[in-house]
Structure 1
Amino acid sequence: MNETSPVDPAQPTGRIVLLTTSHRVAPGLLSWPAWQVLHAADRVVCGDGAHPQVPYLREAGVAVDTGSPTAEELVAQCAGGRTVVVVATGEGEPALTDGLARLAGSGRVAMPELELLPASYDLPGARLLDLVQVMDRIRAECPWSSQQTHKGLAKYAVEEAYELVEAIEEGDREELREELGDVLLQVVFHARIAEEDPETPFSVDDVAATIVTKLIHRHPHVFGDAVAQTPEEVRDQWIRLKAVEKRRTSVTDGVPLHQPGLALAAKLASRVRTAGLTVPLPTGDGIGYDLLTLAARAESEGVDPEAALRAAARVYREAIRGVEGVGEED
């Protein structure tokens, strides 16, 4: 081990640069400041010989020594004003940084300048790559996940959607973040299963590409020359474009008939109102027609009947618990 020198203000102490990169960015795509530091450094070291950046650095003419020098050895190598770049591994070199902190705190060592230089950054959405990779491994190695099908998972998509709605209505931010993740998992899981289809496979990238194309096409006021200045104009434009895309002949086309009854009734009423049609509500004996009338009325007043009924049901639930003598702690 090289001995470190005592503090000497007149002696150039050099510089240690800890270079960090993101595994979510292709190796070799580094910032210009990072390449400048790498080419100008007196020594470049990396504790992981299999680090994905090493081959690209060497191809660019940067000599990289593999190994894990101690904090004392690094400080000694910087003597005389030399610059040493440490290409950080995935763990961020905690042992090295802790050792440097101890040396600096001792007051007995002429410490070089310490610099943290991020060489590549995660773009927004980069964590989705982690989710795709985790899902790939789970699909391949988990006995339960490897046997799942679209049909078998369908019920979970419905359950997770309702749990997301509940988190929204409760105003629970922590729960909202978790439930959004659960819904996202369903999308990625189904896309992973779809890759294995022998006839018409598609991937999560195909799913993303499809929705991107759809969003751009249905927002010509954002990505084109169309004008839509109010939420109502945007909604009407969306409906018109969707009707053309789907080649629909009726305003009822595309309304899922298996959704909850109140939501179905409200959706049909909304389609009728938006299209400017005059369609009298059917009459008949039975509570179903009464509920249909209530749902249509709620939609006309801008009220989601499902949400309104859930809110009333919660009040009813608390009344029941009050009669039972059950408190929140129970």
Structure 2
Amino acid sequence: MTDRSTFPDLVALIAKLRAPDGCPWDGAQTHASLRPYVLEEAYEVIEAIDQGDPGALADELGDLLLQVLLHSQIASESHEFTIDDVIDGLASKLVRRHPHVFADAPSDIDSIRRTWDEVKKQEGHAKVQLPIILAARKLVDHLSSSPDDIERTEYPNEETHAGGMILAAIARAWKGGIDPEIALHKALCLFSQDEVKD
């Protein structure tokens, strides 16, 4: 193709891949079978950001977008929702969560964060199972306990004590301005490179 592809072109391409005369692998996928790929592609986006490579980042964002399009196409085929519903829902949510832009609301950072949390609560989303480090980080945001308090807590057994020490490390990193998920990812990469050298 000589012309640049548009978003509708891409949506049509995904529909073609899922069609009976399309790709057998794409056609066989379900929301459940694609689940691991969503997380994998998100981590590859993070890796491209860490590498500071714009070309790799654009490529990985495309792979992540593919997941959105595949899930939307699968849902469309079973009349659950379409990509247009996804786009409309996101646009509505962004307007709702940014009253400092689209309505008369305070625009300082603290007020923006409070409003974001309040609107999310009003939207009434059920709690979801987050990756454990992200869940711990979110808990730390609402804890009055310091990392030292967490470490000094009396735990009922060795396993819970080990979990408490991990939580304290996450709290210390997060309160120190370090994202524990990214920090652990970088440490794993470092030790993986050492393993390859050995």
Aligned to 1:56: none
Counterpart residue type for residue 129 of structure 2: L
Asked whether 1:296 is paired with 2:175, we answer no
Matches within 5 A, 1:1-330: 127-140=6-19, 141-197=22-78, 201-230=80-109, 232-246=110-124, 254=127, 256-259=128-131, 261-270=132-141, 272-273=142-143, 281=150, 283-284=154-155, 285=158, 286-322=161-197, 324=198
CA contact (8 A) 1:266 1:298 kept: no
TM-score between the two structures when normalised by the length of structure 2: 0.84
Distance 1:296 1:138, change over 3 A: same
1: distance between equivalents of 2:27 and 2:192?
A: 40
Counterpart residue type for residue 228 of structure 1: S
2: distance between equivalents of 1:221 and 1:244?
A: 17
- The offset of 1:191, in angstroms, is 0.5
3-state SS in 1 of match to 2:108: coil
2: distance between equivalents of 1:91 and 1:268?
A: 50
Segments ≥4 residues shifted beyond 4 Å: 277-280
Counterpart residue type for residue 130 of structure 1: D
Distance 1:303 1:283, change over 3 A: farther
CA contact (8 A) 1:167 1:176 kept: yes
Distance 1:127 1:265, change over 3 A: same
2: distance between equivalents of 1:321 and 1:143?
A: 36
Counterpart residue type for residue 257 of structure 1: Q
2: distance between equivalents of 1:292 and 1:206?
A: 38
Which protein has greater RCO, CA pairs closer than 8 Å, 6+ apart? 1
- The offset of 1:278, in angstroms, is 5.8
Aligned length, in residue pairs: 188
Distance 1:283 1:258, change over 3 A: farther
1: distance between equivalents of 2:41 and 2:137?
A: 22
Question: Could you say which structure has the higher helix fraction?
Answer: 2
Question: Could you say which structure has the higher strand fraction?
Answer: 1
3-state SS in 1 of match to 2:177: coil
Counterpart residue type for residue 305 of structure 1: P
Gaps of 5+ in 2: none
Who wins on radius of gyration, i.e. which is larger?
A: 1
1: distance between equivalents of 2:108 and 2:10?
A: 37
- The offset of 1:290, in angstroms, is 0.8
1: distance between equivalents of 2:98 and 2:38?
A: 27
Distance 1:91 1:174, change over 3 A: closer
Counterpart residue type for residue 35 of structure 2: A
Aligned to 1:21: none
Instruction: Give the root-mean-square deviation of aligned CA atoms.
Output: 2.5
